[in-house]
């Protein structure tokens, strides 16, 4: 009994007890939040009946953008498709109207240019917009050292205009009417590459980090006004941008990814969107030391660069 009293008087005992209790509480909160996001989900939030008639999707004719357009149409939204090529816009528009029996509207715009926004603003005039998906994006053709990127001047301009300026300008056009109605969702598609620096993809990684920070800042600014602004950070998905064709459990199809991601809206300000991607995001940012991660990513990018250059030299 006396030894117990002595133990209870020992400061190290209470430091250890508090530490164990804190770790247990954090673990329980982590598990509870995981169940709430990835098992229960929030799939009924993103629907036209709750947010408004129209959903606007940029980069809407391929990959993740097309998958968002189709899934949002399935949920009852009329769809505004914005992309560069009118022929592809018409093709996707007809397919969506036929399959989901919703109204569509197309706006052709090259997001590499900065004079397109008056045209887009005119095309969106008068629409009750419930969802904006800022999806349009561009990456490197292959990993490369910054000063060795081909046509670097135009590359810099395109990367900034498409990956950064488009998000800011489209948000500027759509957000005011959402604020007026006190409801709306903006999904800004960043990338897991924006969660940490990626050497040899430095400009792409940095542009996606901007999208992430911009989204989280705006969500805090406008949450009280009824607006949800979410940063979406996918790892690899089977798209033209990733150049991966075969889906696996950790590399989903765009359709599978989008369906999972939409269930996280309203539950996470910053989301990897898909459970295997969330696990990968946790491992790479919370468990791995930054130096180890950077060294590994650099090694992968150098290997990809070498394969690409070898292929170009041979063919």
**pLDDT digit string (tens) for 298-313?**
999 999 999 999 998 8
Specify whether 204 is catalytic. Answer: yes
Does residue 78 have a pLDDT over 80?
Answer: yes
Q: Distance between CA atoms of 234 and 281, rounded to whole angstroms?
A: 9
Q: What percent of the chain has pLDDT over 70?
A: 95
Crossing angle of helices 152-160 and 202-222, rounded to 10°: 20
Q: Distance between CA atoms of 284 and 198, rounded to whole angstroms?
A: 12
Could you say which of 68, 140, 204, 274 is catalytic?
A: 204
Q: Distance between CA atoms of 269 and 98, rounded to whole angstroms?
A: 34
Which residue is it, tokens 């969506």? Answer: 96
* 104: confidence class by pLDDT, cuts 50, 70, 90: very high
CA 14 to centroid of chain Cα atoms: 43
* pLDDT, tens digit (0-9, with 9 covering 90-100), for 169-211: 999 999 999 999 999 999 999 999 999 999 999 999 999 999 9
Strands 227-232 and 270-271: parallel
CA quadruple 193, 199, 204, 209: dihedral, nearest 10: 50
Give, in words, the CATH class of 45-314. Answer: alpha beta
Residue 13: per-residue pLDDT: 60
Q: Distance between CA atoms of 63 and 242, rounded to whole angstroms?
A: 10
Residue 210: per-residue pLDDT: 98
Query: Which of 20-24, 129-133, 248-252 shows the highest mean pLDDT?
Result: 129-133
Q: Which of 6-10, 50-54, 103-107, 248-252 has the lowest mean pLDDT?
A: 6-10
pTM of the model: 0.91
Which sign does the torsion angle of CA 160, 165, 166, 171 carry? positive
Alpha carbon distances (Å) from 13 to 17, 19, 26 = 6, 10, 20
Residue 31: per-residue pLDDT: 80
* 4: confidence class by pLDDT, cuts 50, 70, 90: low
Task: Give the contacts of 198 (CB within 8 A, at least 6 positions apart).
Answer: 204, 205, 297, 301
Q: Distance between CA atoms of 220 and 231, rounded to whole angstroms?
A: 12
Q: Distance between CA atoms of 131 and 121, rounded to whole angstroms?
A: 15
Does residue 1 have a pLDDT over 60?
Answer: no
Does residue 135 have a pLDDT over 90?
Answer: yes
Crossing angle of helices 117-124 and 166-181, rounded to 10°: 30
Does residue 2 have a pLDDT over 60?
Answer: no
3-state secondary structure of 266: coil
Adjacent-strand bridge partners of 133:
57, 187
Selection from 110, 128, 125, 113 nearest residue 61 by Cα: 110
CA quadruple 168, 211, 70, 95: dihedral, nearest 10: 60
Q: Distance between CA atoms of 296 and 198, rounded to whole angstroms?
A: 10
Where are the strands (E) in the chain, listed by range?
54-58, 78-83, 104-108, 129-134, 184-189, 227-232, 270-271
Asked if 111 and 136 touch (Cβ cutoff 8 Å), the reply is yes
Q: Which of 104-113, 123-132, 216-225, 279-288 has the lowest mean pLDDT?
A: 279-288
Tokens of residue 144, six digits: 């490369």
């Amino acid at each position: 009994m006396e030894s117990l009293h002595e133990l209870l008087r020992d400061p190290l005992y209470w430091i250890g007890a508090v530490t164990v209790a804190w770790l247990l509480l954090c673990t329980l909160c982590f598990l509870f939040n995981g169940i709430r996001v990835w098992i229960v989900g929030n799939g009924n939030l993103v629907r036209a009946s709750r947010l408004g008639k129209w959903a606007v999707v940029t980069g809407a004719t391929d990959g993740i953008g097309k998958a968002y357009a189709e899934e949002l149409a399935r949920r009852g939204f009329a769809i505004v498709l914005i992309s560069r090529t009118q022929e592809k816009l018409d093709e996707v528009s007809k397919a969506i109207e036929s399959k989901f029996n919703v109204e569509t509207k197309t706006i052709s715009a090259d997001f590499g240019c900065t004079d397109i926004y008056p045209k887009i603003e005119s095309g969106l005039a008068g629409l009750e917009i419930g969802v904006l998906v800022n999806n349009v994006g561009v990456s490197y053709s292959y990993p490369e050292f910054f000063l060795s990127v081909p046509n670097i001047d135009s590359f810099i301009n395109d990367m900034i205009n498409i990956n950064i300026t488009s998000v800011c300008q489209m948000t500027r056009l759509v957000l005011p009417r959402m604020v007026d109605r006190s409801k709306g969702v903006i999904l800004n598609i960043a990338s897991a590459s924006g969660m940490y620096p990626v050497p040899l993809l430095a400009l792409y990684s940095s542009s996606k980090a901007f999208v992430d920070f911009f989204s989280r800042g705006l969500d805090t600014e406008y949450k009280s006004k009824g607006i949800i602004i979410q940063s979406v950070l996918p790892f690899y998905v089977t798209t033209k941008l990733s150049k991966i064709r075969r889906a696996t459990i950790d590399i989903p199809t765009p359709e599978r990814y989008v369906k999972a991601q939409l269930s996280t809206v309203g539950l996470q300000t910053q989301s990897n969107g898909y459970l295997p991607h969330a696990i990968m995001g946790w491992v790479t940012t919370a468990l791995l030391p930054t130096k180890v991660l950077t060294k590994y990513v650099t090694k992968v990018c150098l290997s990809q660069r070498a394969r690409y250059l070898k292929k170009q030299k041979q063919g």
